[in-house]
Structure 1
Amino acid sequence: MSDDTANGMANPEAGQQPAVRMQILAQYIRDLSFENAVAQKGLPGGEVQPEINVQVSLDARKRTPDHQFEVIMKFRVSSNNAADKSPLFLCELDYGGVFHVEGIPEDQMHPFLLIECPRMLFPFVRRIISDVTRDGGFPPFNMDPVDFVALYRQELARRQQAEKPADVPLS
Structure 2
Amino acid sequence: MSEEQNGAAAQQPQVRMNVQTQYVRDMSFENILAQKGSTGSVQPDVRVQVGLDAKKREAENTYEVILKLNVESVSKENPAEKLFILEIEYVGIFTIDGVPEEQMHPFLLIECPRMIFPFVRRIVSDVTRDGGFPPLNLDTIDFVSLYRQELARRVEAQKTAAPAN
> Same fold, TM exceeding 0.5?
yes
Tell me: CA distance 1:51–1:165, structure 2 relative to 1, closer, same or farther (3 Å): closer
**Counterpart check, 1:55 vs 2:42:** no
Runs of 4+ in 1 over 4 A off after TM superposition: 165-170
User: What TM-score comes out, normalization by structure 2 length?
Assistant: 0.90
User: What corresponds to 1:162 in structure 2?
Assistant: 157
Tell me: CA distance 1:69–1:167, structure 2 relative to 1, closer, same or farther (3 Å): closer
**Counterpart check, 1:20 vs 2:25:** no
Q: Percent identity?
A: 60
Within-5 A mapping of 1:19-168 = 19-43=14-38, 48-85=42-79, 86-165=81-160
Query: Which secondary structure state, in structure 2, belongs to the residue aligned with residue 60 of structure 1?
Result: strand
- Determine the C-alpha separation between the residues in 1 that align with 2:154 and 2:123: 30
How far does residue 56 in structure 1 lie from its aligned partner after superposition? 0.2
How far does residue 166 in structure 1 lie from its aligned partner after superposition? 5.6
- Determine the C-alpha separation between the residues in 1 that align with 2:108 and 2:164: 40
Task: Please say which structure displays the higher CA radius of gyration.
Answer: 1
Query: Which secondary structure state, in structure 2, belongs to the residue aligned with residue 104 of structure 1?
Result: coil
Comparing 69-78 with 157-166, which one deviates more in the overlay? 157-166
Instruction: Kindly provide the amino acid, as one letter, of the partner of residue 103 in structure 1.
Output: G
Tell me: CA distance 1:101–1:43, structure 2 relative to 1, closer, same or farther (3 Å): same
Structure 1: segments with no counterpart, 5+ residues: none
Structure 2: segments with no counterpart, 5+ residues: none
How far does residue 167 in structure 1 lie from its aligned partner after superposition? 8.2
How far does residue 80 in structure 1 lie from its aligned partner after superposition? 0.4
User: What TM-score comes out, normalization by structure 1 length?
Assistant: 0.87
- Determine the C-alpha separation between the residues in 2 that align with 1:136 and 1:167: 47
